[in-house]
A and B are shown apart, each in its own frame.
Chain A
Amino acid sequence: MRILVQTTCLANGELSALIAADAVAAQPGAIESEAAARLVAAGPLASSVELDLSGVSEWDSASISWVFRVQRAIQAAGRSCRIGGLPNDAAGLLELAGSVPERKGARRSEVSVPLLEGIGQQAVQLWSDLLEWCDFVGELLVSLSRALRGKARIPVRDIWVTMEECGPSALPIVTLISVLVGVILGFIGAQQLRQFGAEIYVANLVGIAMCREMGGIMAGIIMAGRTGAAFAAQLGTMQVNEEIDALKTFGFSPMEYLVVPRVMALIVMMPLLAVYADVLGMLGGALISSFALDISLLRYFEQLTSAVFLKDVALGVAKSCVFGILIAVSGCLYGMRCGRSASAVGIAVTSAVVAGIVAIVVSDAVFAVMCEVLKI
């Protein structure tokens, strides 16, 4: 929209503005806002402002909203603003827009927060998130112990269904990822070990790495993206549909009815998936050894049995149990505290996956330190 503003100051301190605009020739907002700014700046100086719009040839929403904005700004400065020369229909629309006064406090503006305050707010937020986690885990433990003592009614069918969803259905992707991780580890390790003529130790490298670290972590990350996200989405949607409210009012504890079965299913399935990933990763290592490194399968497995001990596998399994709990908790927590809209479900899923992966990596670091101290 091109807008021409011709202002005249009258002797009695009034400002008269003749405005010519061409709504059809839509122009970038620069001219428009410049003209508006000039008018608004001049407005408070004058005792009253008259906008003469007879020069405007055609109307659309953009031109009316422009006049509306200018009028509001001048009125906000405490000056009266008369408008003349409007065609009837446009005047009617303008009046309609101004007829209900703006609700006080309804308008929200972006408040820019100083850097330090922002950091502080984030820290406080992080702390309250952490407290919420603790709250949730505490409640979960109470419910779990009630369930194990047979005091809570747990929907057994849901446990089976969830186990099926997060176990067998995840096998293809876990297979693919762990074989490839085994191959990659073997390949990179062999390149380095060859310099010392110690290629055979590829078996040690792949075996130890898979059993102690990679099997659990890879399975965990896949589960966080697959199952953690699914948990958050399921519970979030139930929250949006008021299904969780309905559960509560029928006397079902959402914790016992929704969260406990999911956590139980994942506690059972995660170690199995981790062991499966360990085995396939070592097979991947065997593949690369026999095809690319001329180590016979027999030699590889002999070396493997002398390198990997039960404690390594046990450590991996123990870790994967913890990962399973963390994934299930983050999925369920973000699902349960989901807002009431469709976009809130999206946010809940994203937060659940991110929090799940962060929790896995952080707890893995804690495990690493503990193993170092305990010499495992």
Chain B
Amino acid sequence: MGADPEAHIVVDGLTMKYGDFLIQRDLSFSIRRGDIFIIMGGSGCGKSTLLKHLIGLNRPFAGRVLYGRQSFWDASLGEREALLRGMGILYQKGALWTSMTLAENVSMPIRQYTKRSEAEIRDIAEYKLALVGLAGFEEYYPSEISGGMQKRAGLARAMALDPEVLFFDEPSAGLDPVSSKLLDDLILELNESLGATIVVVTHELPSIFAIGKNSVFLDADTKTMIAFGPPKELLESSTDPKVIEFLTRGVGRNGAA
């Protein structure tokens, strides 16, 4: 591990626990720069937990998370802040700050990290909201818009600082099929135009095949990863029955054909 020069994020022997409760162990994989990387697996297998370890909210029980060559938890506070600054995160529930309008939500990080003037910050916030199709909603509070719009506003906030890597936790959960497709298109576009690495936690099969360039499959029973590779290849050539069952909605490879 770490030999791949294109690797953006490297997970090295990661074991995650809540107290004594083991979630996943011995995870080792790397995420290439510019990829759309999928973390998949059944509900409760620890996908969100893995994401929290990637973004430094939870400390690994064992193992390391490396950004480039830098280990997140061995870095100094300042280096860690710099790493965090390069990340944008869309949380499972949107996690907009409910006491602020959408425009204020998006401008908060910009104000924190840059020395731009208020007018400039305002312009950037409006532009980012327009990018996700929320032009005109600047003065709305999160509680006044629908769940899908909250997700998109969360995305605008995640992109506020032009991050190098974007994390999405179940972006299409709770969205109707059309909105979810639109969000997938948006993710693809962002990946192409910004060149950002994108890590998506999801179990929506259409999304996985539409956007995923590489993926890892977490298993809840054995509590470790049981497959790694591009989702389409996994569908064609995986030998693990659990992976095949998941990727074909339990129909099996022949049934799906």
| Given known A153-B112, A251-B113, A252-B112, contact A246–B84 (CB-CB < 8 A) | no
Using A242-B91, A242-B93 as known contacts, say yes or no to A249 and B57 having CB atoms under 8 A apart: yes
In the bound complex, residues from chain A placing their C-beta under 8 Å from that of B95 are: 241-243, 245-246
Chain B residues with CB under 8 Å of A250's CB are: 84, 108-109, 112
Give the docked Cα–Cα distance between A237 and B113 (Å): 26
Mark each residue of chain A from 222 to 253: 1 if its CB lies under 8 Å from any CB of chain B, else 0.
00000000000000011001110111111110
Closest to B142 in A: A241
Q: How large is the interface on B (under 10, 10 to 19, 20 to 34, 35 or more residues)?
A: 20 to 34
Distance of A217 Cα from B67 Cα, bound (Å): 53
Candidate in B52, B87, B108, B157 with the most chain A CB atoms within 10 angstroms: B108
Indicate if the CB atoms of B98 and A243 lie closer than 8 Å: yes
What CA separation (Å) do A245 and B53 show in the bound complex?
Answer: 12
1/0 contact string of B76-103 vs chain A (CB within 8 Å): 0000010011010101111111100000
Other-chain contact of B91, A153, A245, A251, A252 (Cβ < 8 Å): A245
Residues of B within 8 A of A246 (CB): 89, 91, 95-97, 157
Closest CB in chain B relative to A119 CB, distance in Å: 24
Q: Are B57 and A241 in contact (CB under 8 A)?
A: no
Cβ–Cβ contact B113 & A249, under 8 A: no
- Are A249 and B84 neighbours in the complex by a CB distance under 8 Å? yes
B56 within 8 A of A: yes
Q: Mark A11-40, 1 if CB is under 8 A from B, else 0.
A: 000000000000000000000000000000
Q: Do B112 and A249 touch across chains, with their CB atoms under 8 A apart?
A: no
Contacting residues, chain B, for A251 (C-beta < 8 A): 81, 84-85, 109, 112-113
- CA A142 to CA B93, docked complex, whole Å: 32
Q: Which residue of B lies closest to A237 (CB)?
A: B98
Complex interface: chain B residues within 8 A of A241 (CB): 93-95, 98
Residues 204-223 of B, flagged 1 when their CB comes within 8 A of A and 0 if not, give 00000000000000000000
A245-B57 in contact (CB<8A): yes
Question: Is B132 located at the chain interface by the 8 A CB criterion?
Answer: no
User: Residues of B contacting A243 with CB < 8 Å?
Assistant: 95-98
Q: Hey, which chain B residues are within 8 Å of A242, CB to CB?
A: 91-93, 95
Contact with A along B137-174 (1 / 0, CB 8 A): 00000000000000000000100000000000000000
The distance from the CB of A142 to the nearest CB of chain B, in whole angstroms, is 13
Contact string against B for A residues 131-171, beta-carbon threshold 8 Å, 1 for contact and 0 otherwise: 00000000000000000000001000000000000000000
Number of residues on chain A facing chain B (CB within 8 A): 14
Measured CA separation A261–B159 after assembly (Å): 28
Cα of A247 to Cα of B157 in the assembled complex, Å: 12
CB distance from A195 to the nearest CB of B (A): 57
B131: chain A residues at CB < 8 Å are none
Is the Cβ of A249 less than 8 Å from the Cβ of B56?
yes
Contacts of A249 in B (CB 8 A): 55-57, 84, 87, 89
A178, chain B: closest CB distance, angstroms: 31
Contacts of B56 in A (CB 8 A): 249
Q: How far is the CB of A199 from chain B (nearest CB, A)?
A: 53
**Chain A hits for B94, CB < 8 A:** 241
CA A241 – CA B108 in complex, angstroms?
Answer: 18
Name which of B57, B85, B95 has the most chain A CB atoms within 10 A of its CB.
B95
Interface residues of B in 100-117 (CB under 8 A from A): 108-109, 112-113
Closest to B96 in A: A243
Contacts of A245 in B (CB 8 A): 52, 57, 91, 95
Interface set, chain B 40-98, CB cutoff 8 A to A: 52, 55-57, 81, 84-85, 87, 89, 91-98
Residues from chain B with a CB closer than 8 A to the CB of A247 are: 97
- Who on chain B is nearest to A247 by CB? B97
Q: Which residue from chain B places its CB closest to the CB of A250 in the assembled complex?
A: B109
- CB 8 Å contact bits of A341-371 with B (1 = contact, 0 = none): 0000000000000000000000000000000
Name B113's closest neighbour in chain A (CB-CB). Answer: A251
Contact partners of A248 in chain B: CB under 8 A? 57
Which residues does chain A contribute within 8 Å of B52, judged by CB atoms? Answer: 245
Q: Closest residue of chain B to A252, judged by CB?
A: B112
- What's the minimum C-beta distance from A289 to chain B, rounded to whole angstroms? 47
**Apart from the given pairs A242-B95, A247-B97, 7 other A-B contacts in the complex at a CB distance below 8 Å:** A238-B97, A241-B95, A243-B98, A245-B91, A245-B95, A246-B89, A249-B84
Residues of B that sit less than 8 Å from A by CB:
52, 55-57, 81, 84-85, 87, 89, 91-98, 108-109, 112-113, 157
Instruction: Name A residues whose Cβ lies closer than 8 Å to a Cβ of B.
Output: 153, 237-238, 241-243, 245-252
Some 23 contacts from A to B, beta carbons below 8 A apart, are A238-B97, A241-B93, A241-B95, A242-B91, A242-B92, A242-B93, A243-B96, A243-B97, A243-B98, A245-B91, A246-B89, A246-B91, A246-B95, A246-B97, A249-B56, A249-B57, A249-B84, A249-B87, A249-B89, A250-B84, A250-B108, A250-B112, A252-B108
List 3 A-B pairs, minimum CB-CB distance, nearest first: A242-B95, A246-B95, A242-B91
